[in-house]
Structure 1
Amino acid sequence: MNDVASGGADISRIILEASGETLGAALLVFGRDDTITFASTSILQFFPVPAGMLVPGTRLRDFLGAVYDTGVRPGTLPESSRHRPNREDWIAEQMALHWRERYENVERAGRTRWLSLRQRRLSSGIGLLAVSDVSEQKKRDEQARTDLQRIALTEEILNAQPNPICVKDRNLHYIAVNKAFSAIHDLAPDAMLGRSASDLVETELAEHFERSDRHVLETGTPYSEAEHIVRADGSDLWVVTRKYRVGLPDRHFVVTCMNDVTDIAVWYGGSEKGGDTGLQIRDYSIFTPAQNFYDPFRSLDMQQLASAGSKIGMLPARGLRVLLATADREMEERFVARLRGSGLDACAVRNGEELDAFALAAEARGLEIDLLLLDAAFPEKHGVLASWRACTWVEVSSDTDATILLAEIFGVCARGARSPLLQSEWGIALDRDQVSATNAPAVEVLVAEDNQVNQFVFAQILEGLGISHRIAADGREAVDLWHELQPALVLMDVAMPVMNGFEAAIAIRQAEKRAGRRTPIVAVTAQALDIDLERCRTSGMDDHIMKPVSPDMIEMLLRKYLPAGETRVSGSGRSGSQ
């Protein structure tokens, strides 16, 4: 009898173990007296209790206490939580659950593990508990829930956009559209999903759409086109359509976004000059100035500056002997340091006595002073002019900008004559009649630029190319210098104080109508926005270049706008007088 009973118990245990493995769960069977009658060995995979707690006859309460002690207990908060039930309360709660007729739940066990608990209490009083690990399923469910939330949020954002947007799969079927896109066809968004363009528009137009769609899908190259659309209700829609490829390899999609410009644009079918058909801005005045993030100093191309610097290194201004006559110690320190830093041999004297002594010492050593910088407030100014008649000089003051002064010094050296800033005390003046007869400009290039860094860059490049020039710090000064110097070319920064480049160009063009001649004006812009380029055209400018400027840019403009016969290059057969 014992052998039969033992054999029957083994068969029952084997069947229960096999059933648990088939169901992918660990089984725990307990009697009406709440003692364990059977426990799968796989229970230890979920609850690392001592193996002795799984033998038949162990009280369910003791097993639950051992589970609590492991820290892996279903139905409680993670170990890091400060709000956890105490041991007796948790055991009492679990005992109550085990006496329910039916109990099913997915509960956290530890930090990252989730267990499925399914419990039954039979009419005989025997209880069954099946435990399985559903952590991966839980993760998938959480991810699916997150994805659904993300999709819902994305749809909400897309539907809030005023611009029509749609997404097509590799078969060019719509898989997502926003309300603005579906409104074009007067259809509900759901009614468009799964359909293609040929289901919605004429065959020829659908083929046009799908050609660009396939090109984007195959190459990944964005596509852009200005389009005129007639909505289903007959109203016009002017858009700039852009298409992009998104997604992973073998799972690419085409996203089409139509930027609605109906309120600000008009469609032109070609200009009188034979221009192409296109979408143009109707009224630029509707745009108000916004933030400008362009920093010309940060945008300087150091390679371009190095190239310009190599040309400056060949200038005769290198090693030029410059003497500063000033009683202002601050001016002395500022100018002498700047001139020496630019490769000039510079020093200073503070009064007429020091100046005479310096002249005698230089003559004794056979040294010549190439340029005299004379402070306008120098006490012996007129006596200096009389005794230094043979030397080129430039008058300076305490508010003279060192960068502009340096450009003037380079100009003096490059031209082999006095700077345009030289005063008339020398008794030397231009023969105005002769200038008019030859119609030669006083300088080749007039630069209108308010930024000191850019002023210096222009000066370096133009001097390196041997081009005479002057620099104006604002639009008003540019107009005045244009009247005075009659330059062959104007480089006009569009953003300047007092009078901007557009206004200065208009003023020059109005003056030219009375004079009967025309000077090429090239805009210098920080960015090539359509609004800026249109204003350049309407203000009478001939061309534009973008900052940062380079020697190549300037050479290109000189070849284009200054005929070889009119360009006066330093050191190439020019006379020493103006």
Structure 2
Amino acid sequence: MNDVAPGGADISKIVLESSCDALGLALLVCGRDDTILFASAAVLQFFPVPAHVLAPGTRLRDFLGVVYDTGIRPGTLPENSRRRTNREDWIAEHMALHWRERYENIERAGRTRWICLRKRRLSSGIGILSMSDVSEQKKRDEQLQTDLERVELTERILDAQPNPICVKDRNLNYIAVNKAFCAVHDLAQEAILGRSAWDLVEAELAERFEQSDRHVLETGAPYSEAEHIVRADGSDLWVVSRKYRVGVGGRHFVVTCMNDVTDIAAWYHGGEDGSVNAGLQIRDYSIFAPAQNFYDPFRALNVQQLIEAGSMIETLPARGLRVLLATANRDMEERVIKRLRGSGLDACAVRNIEELRAFVLAAENCGLKLDTLLLDAALSGRDDIAGSWRDCPLLQVSPDVDATSLLAEIFRVCAERRQSRPPLAQPDWEISFEDNVPSGTHAPEVEVLVAEDNQINQFVFAQILEGLGVSHRIAANGREAVELWHELQPALVLMDISLPVMNGFEAAAAIREAEKRTGRHTPVVAVTAHASDIDLQRCRASGMDDHIMKPVSPDMIEALLRKHMPAANMRAAS
């Protein structure tokens, strides 16, 4: 049969039936007068019509009418649709389709069945309609689409989680990671997927990680471990890592979820009995095994910018520079302050002009000087400050400023300021703790040990003690204070009562217990923001000798030194 075959050409029914059966098709052939010339038996599998309707000579219109009446008709809306196509419109529409030169479409026939219709009208006027059942393929396509949507939704959910999460295959290669996991390493997903722990961390840690991964894969038993991680930006991350096996036999995966407990470990002060300052919920930091340190100081700094900043890299160390940022942009504040502190600067922020003026006044009262003021160009009222500011170098910054470039600029302006300053005159007084040390004792390595966790208060204590010429060390938590007391044997301890890991009361009691074996006594002074009767009772009960109230001042600290360090020779030298 071809395009030039006459309309009454004989069609071999046996050949057509065999071909349709072999191809899995149902075939309907119509003449130019829209009467059925041939219909394979397989048509009845698609449309439950009486067999005589498929006999040669039946009008195509009559066949379509019977199909419509069965209720199983391609191209109609689902049964639960409120919209209905009437009989004549449906027949007219499909008659028109039969006269198209070519037409192909996948259409629903019933609730769960899909049919692929292919129609062709030859130049001789003969029309051919082939039908094939594609329900299974359609189901597979729909399932694949559903799976893709589920994967996309799962990825969005994982990326929204604040906890780092990763998935490894049986070869322990990363096959899925969320944004929080990428942020820890400071790498894009593409740089992690397909790689193993050996490509990302040190060999010793990679081996330890894979041992636990293998154990989970082989046994299916969950695994957990507390870990201390240093992120790529230098910040600490305290996590409890939990590993699980998921999947079916022969195709298992390891899912690792790092539950972030940094806030609990660093800031929680409530006790089980509900009392205040009863110690941390996590008392023993030794349970955290060392994990990977992703901080790379060479990658964190823009070396070329530091080279362009000149020789002040050698002459002006970052530690000790005092920088204040004035901005109402919280994102900018968090990003810039974290970067400056990570490089050793004493940095903090104010959020409006009123706070800036109050900060400057408080600093002057304590005898403190700023090295640099960073002024957000978008801050309201900045022009008044920029026009009148004379206290230190002022740098105007934009919200999208690069923190590394800003760090190099701070180095530069501070170096230029130091080089332009006249030599400092010698102070007309000093406090000396070197003479009249009782015989049989050694001068302490540091005179004063300060236990303070707040960075701004650390900055204030350091500046006051440096101004008085007193050597000192600062501990950031109670346990560190006790350890430094054992190591340095200071002449005086200034103890904040609200400390992480071990509070001030517990630290003082630990010092007093240790002194029972040495016979010596170190004055311990409580530093508190609220001197309530309960706090003062607890100070005395823990063995503290005195207390002072925040905020502290140089006069207050000097009075403490004279009161509690009588063995030292404190003289004013002209």
Structure-2-length-normalised TM-score: 0.45
TM-score w.r.t. the length of structure 1 is: 0.44
Instruction: Please tell me whether Structure 1 or Structure 2 has the larger radius of gyration of its CA atoms.
Output: 1
* Structure with higher RCO (Cα < 8 A, 6+ apart): 2
